[in-house]
A and B are shown apart, each in its own frame.
Chain A
């Protein structure tokens, strides 16, 4: 079955960076886009961007451009999201999600990774 398993919770100080991983299994990793979604505590879902695991091409939400980097390692079927220059209001749960090709919806989600930014 399709599974996306994310790395564990992280704590960072303001100004630092964090890299979250999302390991895919149960399907051909290069066949489906991976998106990243942020959810601050008690807040809604916020789309961050996508990566095409086949080509490595990316598209980021304007808000995150210059600040986020999405990469992948096809040899281990893993996508990564790195957020730099963290601030305290970046504390959130980050989800990766698989896009169902052709319909732009997410049919599988990771379990979420809590990133806490605190000094």
Chain B
């Protein structure tokens, strides 16, 4: 199972919006609505931001939103804040009853 494809890095200025893409196949992202997104700050465990493509757990800011089209999922962060600077990972359930992560995207807030 190959890793999902994410851009290595994205950047934006405070207040702007950015979108991180995550591309898989019909055996993972395209076949199931079990896409989730995680935020990881250096030295910390990941934290879930989005699950089931577009749902936010309680306590997660509504500045984070998710969507999916075909084999590609996307995470959008609106109103960028300095604290959003972190690594972001997508993940998906697969047809093999396994899980696959994306390679990760480093977000820089300029």
Interface positions of A (Cβ within 8 A of B): 35, 37, 44-47, 49-50, 59, 61-62, 95, 97, 100, 103-107, 109-112
Contacts and interface: CB of A to CB of B under 8 A. Distances in A.
Contacts of A95: 45-46
Contacts of A62: 1
Contacts of B30: none
Interface residues on B, range: 20 to 34
Interface stretch (B16-24, B67-75, B76-84, B93-101): B93-101
Given A44-B102, A106-B38, 14 more contacts: A35-B99, A44-B87, A45-B104, A47-B99, A61-B1, A95-B46, A103-B52, A104-B36, A104-B93, A105-B48, A105-B91, A107-B57, A109-B46, A110-B45
Contacts of A103: 34, 36, 51-52, 55
B103 A44 contact: yes
A61 B99 CA distance: 8
Contacts of B51: 100, 103, 105
A51 to B, nearest CB: 13
Contact of A104 (B47, B87, B99): B99
Nearest to B57: A107
A50 B36 CA distance: 17
Contacts of B3: 44
Tell me which of B34, B45, B98 has the highest count of chain A C-beta atoms within 10 A of its own C-beta.
B45
Contact residues of A: prevailing secondary structure: strand
B93 to A, nearest CB: 4
Interface in B21-45: 34, 36, 38, 40, 45
5 contacts: A44-B89, A45-B104, A103-B52, A105-B52, A110-B45
Contacts of A45: 38, 40, 46, 89, 91, 101, 104
A103 B56 CA distance: 12
A68 to B, nearest CB: 13
A46 B46 CA distance: 12
Contact of B34 (A47, A59, A104): A104
Contacts of B100: 47
